[in-house]
Structure 1
Amino acid sequence: MIFIENEGVTNPFLNLALEEYILRNFDHGNDYLLFYVNEPSIIIGRNQNTLEEINHKYVEEKNIHVVRRISGGGAVYHDFGNLNFSFITDYDVKSLNNFRKFTEPVIKVLNKMGVPAELKGRNDIVANDKKISGNAQFSSVKRMFSHGTLLLDSDLSEVSNALNVKMSKIESKGHKSVRSRVANINEFLSEKLKVEEFRKQILKGLYEDRPNFETYKLTPEEWKGVHQLKDEKYSQWDWNYGKSPKFNIHRTKRFPIGEIDVRIFVEKGHIENLKIYGDFFGKDPVSNIEEKLQGIRYDLASIKEALQEFEMKLYFGDISKEEFVNLIFGADEL
């Protein structure tokens, strides 16, 4: 395992660019660990509709950064009281959506610190049933990362102020509000920690289990590549917000793997445009499905035929093709 020193960068555009740069450019066969802390920001999941996830007026007033990441899952709030970790490894089908594998070392360290942490649900680390960490993944053909938050001393009131959290998500977790279902790790420690000390303790705990740990600092040339990726992608409005599509059919459903939200524009009986949103996790881009359905007739048989070659698990996780087709066509409503 090689620990990448991000040299105190707190710019979320740059930190997300750094994570992707490592994934795509560093040696295959090596495992990397990255820690970073972001200035107040909302980090949007790859497949989400940004304008529907944020409280736009509040975000503008408070000058909160809004950045889209390349992994799936839901929108999260970051600030100086939150530590982010990322394990970057070779792609392995057994590791995809296997959050236990990547969170286990972190949970072990938290337990040693006296935090009653455990993995629960799809991708959350909880303590006494309150969420202290959310996790997400991204995979390319050869590489992948699994990353997560660690809420140490975040301003939890800002989570509900800055985000438009959907009631379906709150209700599915059996809580009445965002604040009631999240907690800071400091609430479970006998002595409260600052983020820098917490970072040291987590890193020390991870080192103890892996004696071959190395620390690496990027070269000036590598940082140049990171800045270029930030400028060309993560700082761009089209990447972070994108254009909301015209639609006349809207179908949404929360599955065990997350919410899938489909916007369809149908004209003269054919699908002219289709956009898929959601907080699901998948390996392959849903744009493949969107492009395949464009131009076909909006009927059950045509949709089924067009999607015949697709394995839904690669795009959304564990749902069947029939469930997805029924969502698009509204067959459950018939």
Structure 2
Amino acid sequence: MIFIDNEGHTNPKLNLALEEYALRHFDTSTDYLLFYINEPSIIIGRNQNTLEEINQDYIDANQIHVVRRVSGGGAVYHDLGNLNFSFITNHDGKSISNFKKFTAPVIKVLNDMGVSAELKGRNDILVDEKKISGTAQFSTGKRMISHGTLLFDTDMSEVAKALQVKMSKIQSKGHKSVRSRVANISEFLKTPIPMADFKKQLLVGLYEASEPFETYKLTEAEWQAVHQLKAEKYDLWDWNFGRSPKFNIQRNKRFPIGEIDLRIFVEKGHISEVKVFGDFFGRQPVSDLEDILIGVPYDKNEIRKALKDVSVEDYFGTLETSDFIDLVYGND
């Protein structure tokens, strides 16, 4: 495995561009590990409606970055007390949604440091039932990213202020607030250490769990390409916020695989626009599923016919097609 040196950059748009560039252009016969730390920012899941996830006034007043990532899942807050890790590997057809495979070495290092971390739920690392890390994945088909956060010394008060938590998410957790569910790794260390030492210990531990690492520094031409990707994608409002669709039907439900929020516009009895939002994880871009529904009569049987040969699990994970149809049309 090769460790990618991000040269200390803390701009989240640049770091996400670096991660995607490495995924798409680095040697496909090699596994890579990337660490990065971001300035205060909200990182939005690929399928989320950004404006409904953030406290816009607070973010504007405090100059907090808002950036969409390529992977699914929910919105997370990053600051200089949060360490992000990213494994870039080949997609073997079995690793998508296998969060245990990629979190196991991180959890082992934390355990060795005296932090009793474990993987729980869909994709969270917890200590004493408090979340210290969330993970997500994205695949191009041949290559994949498995990345996550490690809350080391994050300002927890900022998490609640910057994120606009949906009532459906709060209710599904028994009215627990975001702040009560998260914790910093530093709280569980017997001896306080700075972020730099934590990062070093984590890297050394991951070295020991794998074959010898080597460190790779990008060439000037590669950094230029990363900056170009940042300018053409991660700097753009259209990517980070997107345009909210016109709709006259909204349906929302939280499933075990995450929340699905549908915005549907029906004209003359046919679906003319549809947008699927949510914090789910899927192997295929949900835009493909949206395209299948365009032009279909807004009738339950017609929707069922349109989805007859479609594997809904490709877009959402373990979800029955009938459950998705009930959400699109209603089960009355």
Q: Same fold (TM over 0.5)?
A: yes
For residues 170 and 99 of structure 1, the distance between their equivalents in structure 2, rounded to whole angstroms, comes to: 24
- What corresponds to 1:21 in structure 2? 21
**Residues 175 and 181, structure 1, Cα contact 8 Å, conserved in 2:** no
For residues 39 and 310 of structure 2, the distance between their equivalents in structure 1, rounded to whole angstroms, comes to: 40
Deviation at 1:182, TM superposition (A): 0.3
Deviation per CA, 1:198-237, whole angstroms, max 9, x where unpaired?
1001001111122321111111111111000000000000
2:55 is the counterpart of 1:76: no
For residues 142 and 211 of structure 1, the distance between their equivalents in structure 2, rounded to whole angstroms, comes to: 22
Deviation per CA, 1:79-103, whole angstroms, max 9, x where unpaired?
0000000000001221010000000
For residues 281 and 229 of structure 1, the distance between their equivalents in structure 2, rounded to whole angstroms, comes to: 24
Q: Over aligned residues, Cα RMSD in angstroms?
A: 0.9
Counterparts of residues 7-156 of structure 1 (less than 5 Å): 7-156=7-156
For residues 288 and 239 of structure 2, the distance between their equivalents in structure 1, rounded to whole angstroms, comes to: 18
Deviation per CA, 1:273-292, whole angstroms, max 9, x where unpaired?
00000000011111111111
Counterparts of residues 156-235 of structure 1 (less than 5 Å): 156-174=156-174, 176-235=176-235
For residues 309 and 236 of structure 1, the distance between their equivalents in structure 2, rounded to whole angstroms, comes to: 36
Deviation at 1:130, TM superposition (A): 0.1
Count of residue pairs the alignment pairs up? 332
Look up the equivalent residue of 2:11 and give its one-letter code: N
For residues 38 and 300 of structure 1, the distance between their equivalents in structure 2, rounded to whole angstroms, comes to: 46
Deviation at 1:293, TM superposition (A): 0.8
For residues 88 and 175 of structure 1, the distance between their equivalents in structure 2, rounded to whole angstroms, comes to: 36
Deviation per CA, 1:96-134, whole angstroms, max 9, x where unpaired?
100000000000000000101000000000000000000
1:193 counterpart SS class = coil
2:77 counterpart SS class = strand
Aligned-residue identity in percent: 67
Query: Gapped runs of 5+ residues in structure 2?
Result: none
Deviation per CA, 1:59-85, whole angstroms, max 9, x where unpaired?
000000000000000000000000000
Look up the equivalent residue of 1:161 and give its one-letter code: K
For residues 300 and 29 of structure 2, the distance between their equivalents in structure 1, rounded to whole angstroms, comes to: 45
Query: Gapped runs of 5+ residues in structure 1?
Result: none
Deviation per CA, 1:219-264, whole angstroms, max 9, x where unpaired?
1111111000000000000000010011110001100000000000
Deviation at 1:175, TM superposition (A): 5.5
Q: TM-score, normalised by structure 1?
A: 0.98
For residues 223 and 87 of structure 1, the distance between their equivalents in structure 2, rounded to whole angstroms, comes to: 19
**Residues 45 and 75, structure 1, Cα contact 8 Å, conserved in 2:** yes
Counterparts of residues 293-312 of structure 1 (less than 5 Å): 293-312=293-312
- What corresponds to 2:288 in structure 1? 288
For residues 239 and 158 of structure 2, the distance between their equivalents in structure 1, rounded to whole angstroms, comes to: 24
For residues 171 and 183 of structure 1, the distance between their equivalents in structure 2, rounded to whole angstroms, comes to: 20
2:132 counterpart SS class = strand
For residues 207 and 231 of structure 1, the distance between their equivalents in structure 2, rounded to whole angstroms, comes to: 34
